[in-house]
Amino acid sequence: MSRKAVKPLSYSALIIFLFLIPLFVTSPYHLHIFIMAGIGVMLACSLRLIFNSGQFSMAHGGMMSIGAYTSALLVMKLGLSTWAALGVGAAAAAVLALLVGYPLVRLKGVYFALGTVFLEEIIKLIAQQWTDLTGGVVGLTGVPKPDPIVIPGLLNIDFTSKVDFYYFALVLVLLALLILYAIERSRINQIFLSIKQSESLAESVGVNTAKFKVLAFTMGCFFAGLAGAFYSQFMTVVMPSSFGFVYTVYVIVYMVVGGEKKFYGPIIGAVILIFLPESVRFLKEYQPFVFAAVLMLVIFFLPEGMVSLPQRLKMFFRERRKHA
């Protein structure tokens, strides 16, 4: 079989495997981790989209909270359907990104990153202080779970078990990845990458760089908002501290450890860095050390992330053969 034919086959096999997981992972606790990994994947991949345009956003947690609060409040105060709220939550993050994007993208490099840090802090402070609307530090509790999907006689998904949420998350993440992959393969991504490499050159050949940088930021934040909206319905609690600066840094670490050069880098990074610390739960308070150790090992030995491991190994063995 040719290599070209193997790829789609192995992807379909992987997706079928993911759909079968609840058959052998039955504990709600483990399914919970799978679902959190899905959220991590969506955040890290959408962060990479922004990063592709040469911008380092540190507002991803903030954008996630915009999606979470917007969708939760729309359902709780206005009685909107949870499914519509999911989309509106994502759109709210995108609209905010579009509005603040134009002034923000005037800042270059590290200044842009700093600008997004302030944006994230502002969002958090508003969530903490606007007690009447957001519930302040305590946040919103009793956020409704997704409305049941009922097809009489066939299907009745009421989201009372983690398995239902697992499938919800899986479909959502796969859809998000499909869209992100379509963007990745388009000429839009080539424009993002050209801006990342040389903004002045891109500008000189006619690219409206401000517009495309805002576009990348907006699209990336859309998926952060979507992840947040899902999170609110899954956890049923939304607090300012759920999406703090530390969470943003975690998402950045997922992307960096996985490797931002490849599309699947952040996916690998998020999955490994979410499952690995969980698998060493017996270490208790030393658990974060595992996370830090992985990060440091990758930075020292695989500066381009885990996706560069096969290539590195190949080079390593070739060198050894030469010396032998």
Partner 1 sequence: MLEIKGLTKRFGGLVAIDGLDMTINQGEIVGIIGPNGAGKTTLFNLITGFLRPTKGEILFEKRDITGHKPHRMAAQGIIRTFQATNLFPDFTVQENIVAACHLKPKVGIWEAMLHTPGSRKKREYALSRAEEILEFTGLDTRKDQPAEELSSGWRRTLSVAIALAANPRLLMLDEPVTTLDPERVAFIMNLVSRVRESGVTVAVIEHNMKAIMDYCDRIVVLAFGKKIAEGSTEEVRQNKDVIAAYLGV
Provide the binding-site residues for partner 1, judged by CB under 8 A. Answer: 182-183, 185-188, 190-191, 193-194, 197-198, 200-209, 215
CA-CA-CA-CA dihedral for 219, 119, 232, 137, to nearest 10: 180
Using the minimum distance from each CB to partner 1, give the nearer residue, 6 or 182.
182
95 CB-side CA count, 13 A:
9
Q: Residue 230 CB, nearest distance to partner 1 (Å)?
A: 22
Smaller CB distance to partner 1: residue 187 or 323? 187
Residue placing its CB nearer to partner 1 in the complex, 177 or 238: 177
Task: Give the phi and the psi of residue 321 in degrees, each rounded to 5.
Answer: -65, -40
Min separation Cβ 40 and partner 1, Å: 24
Are the C-beta atoms of 224 and 64 separated by less than 8 Å? yes
Cβ proximity to partner 1, 104 vs 191, nearer residue: 191
Nearest to 54 by CA among 215, 164, 169: 215
Least distance CB 190 / partner 1 (angstroms): 6
194 versus 242: smaller Cβ distance to partner 1: 194
The CB-of-209 to partner 1 minimum distance in angstroms stands at 7
- Containing 41, the helix (H) or strand (E) segment is helix 28-52
Minimum CB separation from partner 1 for residue 195, in Å? Answer: 9
CA distance 219 to 1: 38
Q: Is 25 left (phi over 0), alpha (psi -120 to 50) or beta?
A: beta
**193 versus 249: smaller Cβ distance to partner 1:** 193
Identify whether the C-beta of residue 117 lies closer than 8 Å to the C-beta of residue 245. Answer: yes
| Backbone dihedral region for residue 198 (phi beyond 0: left; psi -120 to 50: alpha; all else: beta) | beta
- Torsion of Cα atoms, 45 then 49 then 54 then 56, to 10°: -50
* CB of 90 vs partner 1, minimal distance in Å: 16
Specify the residue, 218 or 242, whose C-beta has the smaller distance to partner 1. Answer: 218
Least distance (Å) between residue 211 CB and partner 1: 9
